[in-house]
Amino acid sequence: MSIHPTAIVAPTARLGAGVTIGPYSTIGDQVTIGDGTTVSAHVVIEAGVEVGRNCRIFSHAVLGSEPQDLKFRGEKSMLIVGEGTIIREFATLNRATSGGGGKTVVGRGCLIMAYAHVAHDCHLGDGVILANAATLGGHVLIEEHAIVGGLTGVHQFCRIGAHAIIGGCSGIILDIPPYVKAQGNRARLFGLNTVGLKRRNFPSEAIRHLKQAYRLLFLSDLTTTQALERIATELPACAEIQHLVHFIKTSERGITR
């Protein structure tokens, strides 16, 4: 363990083996930092934060600050960061509110680039990438391996599906389905994220079925209900199709098209 003499570490903080705390960083009460994690200079990690193993937190990032929510009344809440996640310069990650379940969660192996913002009660799956200055409103859900482009704003309570990719400078006000490409202000869909799916080693058969489902849902004259009925009768119930269908059926804000 290496703690720079100018760093301030609360007595109740729990630091794992091999943790490095850089100059002028502040580690608050009841903070837990896992083995092998590196905290650079001028980082602030406030009370109620759990950081997993082998993370890298770069200068001037702020983790666990109070929610930017007028309903927040100082209740205890948490920010949880999964192992292997990288948080770059000046990123801000707020802890949660009691109304949102008390936990803001960032999964394993995520990349939160410079100036990105993760608001209260957000839940990010494993392998999510937020590019520079991507901004999430409160209660946003992003499923595993989705990518949000730089300077993109995501409205509170929106969901972004697994393996979706969103182009830079977009405005997201409705749910983005899994496996697709989206871009624009306001965002619209631009086909299946075929390149991303191949890079993640999705079977060619699954990609073919997803293309068929995409055509029924977004390129036909069918209503969503009619498209879902056709998918149920014409396509195999593979895991990817089941997930896409479930995501659309459970949307509360509506689906980007």
- Active-site residue list: 120-121, 138
Q: How far apart are CA 68 and CA 53, in angstroms?
A: 28
Name 27's Cβ contacts closer than 8 Å, sequence gap at least 6. Answer: 7, 8, 9, 10, 13, 15, 21, 33, 39, 45
Residue 22 amino acid letter: G
User: What 3-state class would DSSP assign to 218?
Assistant: helix
What totals of helices (H) and strands (E) does the chain contain, helices first?
4, 28
Residues 82 and 107 sit within 8 Å (Cβ to Cβ) = yes
Q: Measured in whole angstroms, how far is the alpha carbon of residue 141 from the centre of its chain? A: 7
CA quadruple 14, 56, 26, 52: dihedral, nearest 10: -30
Tokens of 128: 């999510």
DSSP state letter for 209: H
Q: How far apart are CA 115 and CA 121, in angstroms?
A: 19
Pairing of strands 180-184, 165-166: parallel
Nearest-CA neighbor of 142 among 127, 133, 187? 127
Q: How far apart are CA 18 and CA 130, in angstroms?
A: 27
